[in-house]
Structures are given as structure tokens and as C-alpha cells.
Amino acid sequence: MTLSGERPARRIGRRGFLGGLAGVGVGMGTLAPEAASAATVTEPLWLYDLAHLYQLDLDDPAQAARAYDELHFVATLQGIVNRDLPRLHVHFVTHNELGTIDIDDYWLSRTLESGGFLADRPVRVLSSLDELVSVFRPLLRGAVVWDPAVPATSNVASTVAGAMDLVAVRYDPTPGSLYRSFIGVAGPLRLPPVVRLVREDGRSLFTGRGRIPGTRRESTGSAKCDAYIWAVERFLRTGRCAPEFGYYLDSFWLRGPQGKLPQCLLTNHDYLVARRGFFFDLLPWDDETPVDDPDQPLGTDQRTLQEILRVAYQRTRGGLAPVHGFVPWAYKYTTFGSGGGHHDPVPTEWRFVQLASAYNAYLDADAEHLDAMANASVFAHAPLRPRYPQGPRPSLADLRARGFVTEDDTVAPRRYVMFYVGDYDSAAWLYQVLPYMWDDPARGSVPLNWAFNPNLAARMPVALDLVRRTASSQDTFVAGDSGAGYVNPGMLQEPREFSGLPSGVEVWRDHCRRHYERWDLTVTGFIIDGFAPAMDAATLRAYSDFSPDGFAAQKVEPLGLVGDTPYVRMGPDLPRADPATAADALAAALGGDLGGPPSTPTFHSVRTILQSPSWHREVVERLHAQAPEAAVEIVDAHTFYALVRQHLRGGRLS
């Protein structure tokens, strides 16, 4: 490979991200000071490999800190330099629990292949942090220094990094640290400490006592929450950062890495740094103190979280605010492992979504295990088409031709099953899982209803564009939970617990309508009600407006109509187990005597989580083999809901 136009092979070998690009010239250069305003597609795409950090021993606190420091440094730098043009791509997510596909290689290859949005960019490789800083120094104002004694300041540092174009650096005056290498030096690579979240001598700035530094606010009684209130007053309330959030584990990770480097989630920060977003990590319960701050006054974390969400509501003037990330349940706040909480993970998830929804915030939910994501600040620049149409919806004549509707226009008595193929309410999960699922050779053999939330186009447009361009006739697309983002719709309607705000139903309807129109979505496959009230009549009507072909929810009747829009109560989750076990579970869920067809049609929307087309095909084959006379029909979502509608009409014509 050379810089004269040759591209990497579509897949770059796992034996080395840099090795696969060995022929690329690594000639050093720096960006001209005016590069940020004059960048063009002739500017190189620079590549930096972070996978060497997996060689460090995370059981050694010094090595864990070294890995954390480099990831944080690079992620904040990447967000800054990629804000107006994709300049820097990193290599970090090399595998996951599903297998050994190098995820970052996969997506880099997709973007560089013919037709990819980076196909015409020259590519160069950076081999050290010094080279990285040298190339991008003109775009960096300096550094923000955070306090290892107050882990929340690591998140605050990312907020400041985006707002002020500063690289995040942990205070550590020991020889060889990044602090010593880039702040305690002279010369062209020095990054002046423009903002210090720790005193120059290393003493904590935020102490949980007195007045919060730099504000007129009295301390919350918590150094952790004081740091976030400082960021609210200095950046969120003033408009210096955007009301777009990252709910990511802070540097508490360093106190128990659990051997999981990706789960520090620092590579997820680049996108929000580029967007000048706001980062937090707070307990959503007020009946216990958090494991990372056990001496705070009871409920301080939740009160701080609610203040952040309320200020965002004010900043958006009653609009919506996205939250990227999730409760860090494997490390904090729950009964899981050393999480130190009194509540289980799922109730804690539901509690956070309930709180967020009360303030018009919706989730792009990077949940544990598959939550690490790199290069969203690159992908976000990928262009999208104005509209991605799906095939025509089935007409009554189509349903008759398939034998699903009889001559008298009643629905034939069969067991109609649709697979809700989830969970894709997280850009990180989509990024990590799609290489396994979409390239499965069995895709196209059975009807699958892919629940890719349309709001994921913000961070992962390359994936949503890819699936629409390469879908088979058996691939149908629906929205996942609970539309264009994960909310509890019942918390959008009045009266709104926690917030007392006016109804957010109409703004949610309009938000979803815009996304659904671009992606030609007319079905919402799963509405999670969680701890929220059931949807009232106005909320149901809103869903019928933007999701006119149907929806499934938890707190609804088994079958129903809102105007002409059908809905069902969501069915069971099939176990994440072998196909034989899942087929048995599906047979049990169908109920009745499977020795023959049902006396009346039955409808079953079943959820599968991170299962491949091959798995679905085998489940279907096993089900048909064990119940060949049960009249089970596996159908696409549009057919499924058209049949529900026809059945509830009692055979009346459209």
C-alpha cells in the first residue's frame, strides 16, 4: 500500500492493525493552524492503534492507570480533531463475547472500500502519542487535568475537553506519566493545563465542604456531586456545552477493572467530545447511598441527576435530550458482583429510564458487556440518503393469496409468530454485533424483524445505511424500544412523577415521526413501560400517528386497536440458549394443543436478543419438526400486524 491511492484490503488482518497498513507512508506532518476551518477530503485519515494496551496487566494499579490514561487522552483528542471532519480513526475493539472478529478493522474496511464514505481519503499511520500530538497540536488548546481522588472529575474532564478543545490528563507527577510527558515539559508538544480540576499541588479541589469552587453554590455534601454541579454551572447552564449526555462509568473503574479494559468505556467519549456534550455517572435511587460515595447525604446523587436533566430540559426549551450510555451495573449501584447496591440491575435500569423520561430524555443505551465503542466521531460524518424505503405493505389481496385470510375475509386460524430481533437500542451494540449477524449466510432464510432504533443513525449511520442497502426480502425493519430512543412513554404524560413538567407526548411524537419517515418505519416492535404508568389514550394516539401499522407494549391488553392501528401485548423473550431449548420455549409460549391448528387465530410477538439468522432458522426448523400440525406461521412484522388488524375488525374490509 502506498499513499498514492491504493487502499487496504476490505478486511485488515487481525495480526496487526498497523501491520495490515505497513506499506502506508508514515511521513510526519502537522496540520496548518487554519486546518479546522479549511479541511478537505484530501486531508489524510490518520490511524492510531490502541490495541497494544491489552498487553498491560490490569491487576497492577500502575499499568491499569497507564491504560486508562492513554485511552482518555486519545478519546478526547479524537473527539476534538474529528469535530468538523473525520481525521483520526483508532483501533481498539478487537473482539467481544460473540467471537474474534476485529470490530474496528471490520468497520474501517467498510468505510474504506469502494463506495465507502472514506474511500477517497489518503491513509497514514501514527505510531506514538508524540506523533499523534505533533500532527494535531494546532487543533488543541491544551489540557484539562483531573483528580484521581475524585473519580467524577474524569467525566467532568471529558465535558471540559469538548467544550474547550482540551485533552484530558490525570494528575500524576510520577516520572513517565502522561501528566509529566505533556504538561510538565517544555517544547512544541507541551499541552498547557488550561483547566485544573485538582489543585496544582495535587490536593483535591472538590471536597464536599463549603462553597463549590468557582460558583456561588454551597456544597452538596459530596465531592462527587460538587464536581458535577460545577460543570452544570460553568458549562451546561451557560450553553458552553450541549444538552446531550454520556452516562458512562467514571474512573472508579480503576479501583476494580475486573480484567475488562473495554469496559472503562473511554473510547465511547469521542463522539460526545466532538458534540461538546456533558458526561455524568450518578445513582438513580434516593433510598441508598452509592458505593463510590457512601458518605454523601442520602439522595444526593439522584438530586444531582435530576438537576442535570432539568437544566437540559430548560436548554432545549421543552425538547428532547439524548443520553448515550447506561447504568454501569456491573461496577456500581446494583446487587451484581461488587456493585454495592441494594437493587438488582434491571430495576436500576428501569429506574434510570423512568427518571430520564420524566425530563424528556431518551437513551441510546450502551449496556454492559457490549458497551465499548470506538470511532463514533468518525462514523457520524457518513452521509445518509433522504429516505430509505421498505417494500410495499401487504394488501388484503396479498393476505388472501398467502392463505392467511379466507374468502369471507376472516383471518385463517393459525398461530402467527413474528420474531422481534433485538436488542439494538444502542449504537455500541449495533457496532459490535452487526458484523456477526448481518454477514451470517442464513440471513434471508426466515422472516426476521430487525429492531434497529432509528436514532442510532447519530453515532452509527454506516451500519443503518449498510443494512438497508443489502437487505434481503426476508429482512424487515421495525423500531425497537421504545421508538426513536429508549423511553418509558407513560412518563411523558401528565402528571409526571419526579419532574412535574408539562406533557412531552407531542414532542416525542414529532421526534419519532421525523425518524420514522426517513427510515420508512411503521411498526414499533417493543415499548418498554418499566416502572412508568401505562400509556393513556393520548399517548396511544401518538403511537398510532407515527407507528400506524402497529406496536407492542407491556401494559396493554393482549390485542387492541387505536383507531386503525393494531397493538399486541409483548410476548416472551426466547432464552439465549441453544436452538433446541429456544424451540421448546417457543412451543410452550404458543400454548394449547399443538397437535392441530387453533380454533381461532393467535398472535405471538416474541423477542430474541443478539441471536443470529442461523439460530432463528434452526429454532423454526425444530419447532416445525416437533409440532408439524400446529399451523405455525413465521411472518414479517407488516404481515403480522395487518392480520391483527383484520382479525380485530371481525373480517370487515379496509
Per DSSP, which regions of 430-570 are E strands? Answer: 448-452, 475-478, 523-527, 550-553, 559-562, 565-569
Distance CA 651, CA 654 (A): 9
Distance CA 506, CA 513 (A): 10
Q: Do 652 and 410 meet the contact criterion of CB atoms below 8 Å apart?
A: no
Can you give the pLDDT at residue 184?
84
Instruction: Tally Cβ neighbours within 10 Å of residue 295.
Output: 9
Same-domain pairing of 228 and 359: yes
User: Do the domain assignments include residue 621?
Assistant: yes
Strand partners, 167: 143
Same-domain pairing of 64 and 140: yes
Q: Do 104 and 372 meet the contact criterion of CB atoms below 8 Å apart?
A: no
Q: What is the extent of the structural domain holding 178?
A: 19-379
User: Do the domain assignments include residue 512?
Assistant: yes
Same-domain pairing of 111 and 83: yes
Residue stretches of the chain with pLDDT short of 70? 1-41, 651-654
Which of 320, 349, 379 is the last residue in one of the domains?
379
Question: Cell for 465?
Answer: 445505511
Per DSSP, the three-state class of 325 is strand
**300-315 vs 345-358: helix crossing angle, rounded to 10:** 40
Instruction: Tally Cβ neighbours within 10 Å of residue 452.
Output: 25
User: Do the domain assignments include residue 5?
Assistant: no
Per DSSP, which regions of 310-446 are E strands? Answer: 321-325, 361-364, 415-424
Amino acid at 99: G
Angle (nearest 5°) at CA 325 between 570 and 227: 140
Same-domain pairing of 506 and 433: yes
User: Do the domain assignments include residue 118?
Assistant: yes
Distance CA 573, CA 589 (A): 10
What's the predicted TM-score (pTM) here?
0.93
Q: Do 92 and 105 meet the contact criterion of CB atoms below 8 Å apart?
A: no
Same-domain pairing of 461 and 524: yes
Same-domain pairing of 553 and 607: yes
Which of 379, 407, 431 is the last residue in one of the domains?
379
Same-domain pairing of 373 and 411: no
Nearest to 225 by CA among 158, 284, 333, 303: 303
Radius of gyration (C-alpha) of the chain in whole angstroms = 26
Per DSSP, which regions of 428-482 are E strands? Answer: 448-452, 475-478
User: Do the domain assignments include residue 541?
Assistant: yes
Same-domain pairing of 369 and 401: no
Please give the torsion angle defined by the CA atoms of residues 646, 650, 651 and 654, in that order, rounded to the nearest 10 degrees.
Answer: -60
**427-437 vs 103-112: helix crossing angle, rounded to 10:** 80
What digits encode the pLDDT tens for the residues 317-367?
999 999 999 999 999 999 999 999 999 999 999 999 999 999 999 999 999
Total domains in the chain come to 2
Question: Cell for 94?
Answer: 478487537
| Terminal Cα distance for the chain, rounded | 61
Same-domain pairing of 422 and 454: yes
User: Do the domain assignments include residue 9?
Assistant: no
Please state the length of the chain.
Answer: 654
User: Do the domain assignments include residue 54?
Assistant: yes
Q: Do 604 and 571 meet the contact criterion of CB atoms below 8 Å apart?
A: yes
What strand order describes the sheet that includes 193-196? 166-170, 142-146, 193-196
Per DSSP, the three-state class of 168 is strand
Per DSSP, the three-state class of 426 is coil
What is the domain-level CATH number for residue 444? 3.20.20.490
Same-domain pairing of 493 and 434: yes
| Residue corresponding to grid cell 474511500 | 119
Same-domain pairing of 314 and 223: yes
Question: Alpha carbon 514 to chain centroid distance?
Answer: 19
Can you give the pLDDT at residue 652?
60
User: Do the domain assignments include residue 1?
Assistant: no
Which of 325, 352, 379 is the last residue in one of the domains?
379
| Residue corresponding to grid cell 505510531 | 127
Same-domain pairing of 367 and 405: no
